[in-house]
Structure 1
Amino acid sequence: MQEKTNSLESAYLEESAQAARFELFAMRAVNEDRPRLAAFFRAVARAKNVHAAKALMQLRGKIGDNEANLAEARESLAALPEAFSAFLDATHDGPVQSLLTQFLKTSMNHKVVAGRFDDAGGGDYHVCTVCGFIAEGAVPERCPVCHALPSKFESV
């Protein structure tokens, strides 16, 4: 059973990554005034997203119960800040370094939010659509990571 789950997870991840890559290809084609090529790349991206969605649907039955899923989420979110810290070094240029720093800060935020999750707790979650920061309860005046305005937060 575990081997099938691993294959489905791999297929999902690969198809999702390819879909994103083809979206980038389409953006480049648009920028270079090649609309037909952009349409082709968008079509492939959409097809890859269809594949990913099908793999995800198959994975639904292969996940644990809520307590196991919360434990796994906490474990994986706890490891992310360390993983992003490893990417931060002087070899990246300004924009890439800035992006990776944002990933690190928001990953630390996700770790904290997961660590204090409680079913009995109240409050909504709001995600900054600029950087991915998760606010609990009220939307902040400014995102503490990227300083985005409250209008950039999406309630979940």
Structure 2
Amino acid sequence: MNSTFNFQTDLVKLNKPVLIQNCTGEAVTELQNLLKHWQCYFGEVDGVFGPQTTSAVNCFEYWMFLTEDGIVDHHTWLCLYKGAPVDMPLLKKGSRDELVGKIQERLLWSGFFQSEITGYFDVVTEKAIKDLQQGSGLVVDGIVGDRTWFELSKIREYGC
């Protein structure tokens, strides 16, 4: 990972190419190094976006709550640099969508959630989020904001 990258100030300047399978070159080498850094890629860093790199990208996208399409676009690059989900919505009791279901799945793996995955942010989900926040030393408000998204992205049922 480029240690001179300052996420706050360089975010606007980040101008990386969109990468897909069969791309080659320095950007793919950088991608593979970043995926390796985040423990999603275990292959050779060779600058070739092959099937193993595609699998690693899909895995990373999954952990970052991105669409798992194997395409490294601007949003994927941002997550690779930050090591956390970016531009995620604020979710709280009453929210209902696919992301809530993904959150419930992560909470289930971690043992914070013992209910059915419904995609609805109910009181049980709110309590699980509060327990996660408490255990992570975060502000305990039951709302999924940036710091809570980051903690959720660290919950892994299995490795990449």
TM-score, shorter chain, exceeding 0.5: no
When normalised by structure 2's length, the TM-score is 0.24
Find the structure with the greater CA-based Rg: 1
Q: Which has the higher contact order (CA 8 A, sep 6+)?
A: 2
Indicate the structure with greater helix content. Answer: 1
